A and B are shown apart, each in its own frame.
Chain A
Amino acid sequence: MMTIQEKQAEIVADFAIYDDWMEKYEYIIELGKDLPLIDPAKKTSDRLIEGCQSQVWLDAAIVGDKIRFTADSDAIITKGIIGLLIRVFDNETPENIAKSDVHFIQEIGLQEHLSPTRSNGLASMVKKIKLLALSALS
């Protein structure tokens, strides 16, 4: 099983084959379309991370010693990036999530989506994933 570090390295390698921005986004859009649908019953306000532009729903469940994440967004590009975050954090232990450092977003040049001014809920999503891991630890 891959570590969080290895998963991030794999994503960076996946993106390295695209040298054009539109190709990168085409890939992100595909990831967004492939993201498993969240159970509509779980799209509740307590799972909603409201952004100024797009919204994110995040659900976390503890299964054994791991956290399972499912998430959704009303914007497909946001959903694609969610897909990447889930690929990194899903099915990991709270310890691993809490001590991890998210660097792949910067490395593939998508940092604008995580800047607080972008207000698409993604920056808050990463924060919430970490907080969920920390609260599972305590």
Chain B
Amino acid sequence: MGNLEKRKFSVREIRQDFPALRQQVYGKNLIYFDNGATSQKPQFVLDAINQYYSKDNANIHRGVHHLSQKATTEFEAARTTIQHYLNAAKKEEIIFTKGTTDGINLVASSFGELLSAGDEIIISAMEHHSNIVPWQLLCERKKTLLKVIPINQKGELDMLAYEALLSPKTKLVAVTHISNTLGTINPIDEIIQKAHHFGAKVLIDGAQSIQHTRIDVQELNCDFFVFSGHKVFGPTGIGVLYGKEALLNEMPPYQGGGDMIAKVTFEKTTYNELPFKFEAGTPHIAGGICLGKALAYFHQFDLKEIEKYERDLAEYAQDLLSTFEEVTIIGTAKEKTSVVSFHVNGIHPFDIGTLLDKQGIAVRTGHHCTQPLMDFYKIPGTIRASFAFYNTKEEIDTFIAAVDKSIMMLK
């Protein structure tokens, strides 16, 4: 894994790794609580981006020259890093994509080709739009049916309802590992096991889990796992689709172009092997290499320790927010990650978000691309503070004081 020595977790030291955290906005020290949207980048990754473009830039897989071979080696080494990080059986199972959304669209388009009218796809009521709309498009195209696992008020999946939805008609279950809006950690082990009982495949949307928890795709036994590089301290525009080899082999290519072919004639084209079959055109080479670096950076730390630290932060914030009479916490699942979404009764989330911004605090407000979920809670949106391992309790104290001030101004 990139040969970085294990490091003891120290938030003070970690903060030194992230230059973006050392800045002021509107004359205040930046407090970055929008990690659910994207994470900041450590110097280690920034240096790798700089190194690639200033020294190693070349197109990969085809060139015979030195630079091309160097870039190819680095890009493929990143694939191996990612394979080990996810504990995938083979590196051919790691497909580079543009991100989570791209990965889901790839599966919807390509795995979708194997489906027929009347087949069923199950998603959940807490999905991000990117894990809803690709399936709706597929349903229009192939006349498949979309079923939705309901949730309870706490924001937990109704697992009995899930079981009732499963049938031999179910071909795919596509659910999020962790809800971006609520922070709920879904029981994906059980979801996968139950789906497999009916012969259905399972896609796990790992956009919100990759940066918080250990992922072992073999232990999970999921068929697909997708995530974005930028949420795990890597660059934007790069992501990963993990798929089981046999399944990926069965699926037709997604896009046509260079790199994904074995031989092209005007009569017939044969496709390249995995993973290249799904990687048409010049990929995001710097992105792939630097995602490998980001995972190597993150892997220096004990993830269990980080998970505990982040959950402590969230609990601390949630407890303090709960002392406000006007505040309702949205998403109170028993199993939760470091996301605190809340609504202030009688005040629009946009107003709070704007005032927090002017106090140097970056949070996300709105529906978080989960409109059906907002409809469920009958609110226009929430204010979401999402924490990373570089955040501190002192920052939360400042945030709470800023929330207090904002409410006073808006009441």
Contact check, B350 vs A25: say whether CB atoms are below 8 A apart. no
Given A52-B366, A53-B366, A76-B410, do A25 and B358 touch, yes or no (CB 8 Å)? Answer: yes
Chain B, residues 350-361, CB within 8 Å of chain A (1/0): the string is 110111001100
Task: Answer whether residue B380 sits at the interface, using C-beta atoms and an 8 A cutoff.
Answer: yes
Contact check, A54 vs B348: say whether CB atoms are below 8 A apart. yes
Report the bound CA distance from A74 to B380 in whole Å: 9
Task: Answer whether residue A78 sits at the interface, using C-beta atoms and an 8 A cutoff.
Answer: yes
Tier of interface size on chain B = 10 to 19
Given A21-B26, A52-B366, A54-B348, do A77 and B354 touch, yes or no (CB 8 Å)? Answer: yes
Given A29-B409, A76-B410, do A21 and B365 touch, yes or no (CB 8 Å)? Answer: no
A-side interface residues, number (CB < 8 Å): 14
Report the bound CA distance from A74 to B367 in whole Å: 14
Report the bound CA distance from A105 to B347 in whole Å: 24
> Please, which residues of chain A bring their CB within 8 A of the CB of B253?
none
Contact check, B350 vs A53: say whether CB atoms are below 8 A apart. yes
Task: Answer whether residue B288 sits at the interface, using C-beta atoms and an 8 A cutoff.
Answer: no
Contact check, A22 vs B351: say whether CB atoms are below 8 A apart. no
Q: Which of A1-33 contact B (CB under 8 A)?
A: 21-22, 25-26, 29
Please list the residues of chain B having a beta carbon within 8 angstroms of any beta carbon in chain A. Answer: 26, 347-351, 353-355, 358-359, 365-367, 380-381, 405, 409-410
* Closest Cβ–Cβ distance, residue B244 to chain A (whole Å): 37
Q: Which of A26, A29, A75 sits near B350, CB closer than 8 Å?
A: A75
Given A26-B409, A29-B410, A52-B366, do A75 and B355 touch, yes or no (CB 8 Å)? Answer: no
Report the bound CA distance from A55 to B336 in whole Å: 31
Q: 9 nearest interchain CB pairs? A: A75-B348, A21-B358, A75-B350, A53-B350, A54-B350, A77-B351, A53-B366, A75-B351, A77-B354
> Please, which residues of chain A bring their CB within 8 A of the CB of B347?
76
Report the bound CA distance from A78 to B353 in whole Å: 12
Report the bound CA distance from A21 to B409 in whole Å: 13
13 new A-B pairs (CB below 8 Å) besides A22-B358, A53-B365, A75-B348?
Answer: A21-B26, A21-B358, A22-B405, A22-B409, A25-B354, A25-B355, A25-B409, A29-B409, A52-B367, A53-B353, A74-B348, A76-B351, A78-B348
> Please, which residues of chain A bring their CB within 8 A of the CB of B355?
22, 25, 77
* Closest Cβ–Cβ distance, residue B101 to chain A (whole Å): 17
> Please, which residues of chain A bring their CB within 8 A of the CB of B365?
53
Report the bound CA distance from A25 to B26 in whole Å: 13
Report the bound CA distance from A21 to B359 in whole Å: 8
* Closest Cβ–Cβ distance, residue A94 to chain B (whole Å): 31
What is the chain B residue whose CB lies nearest that of A76?
B351
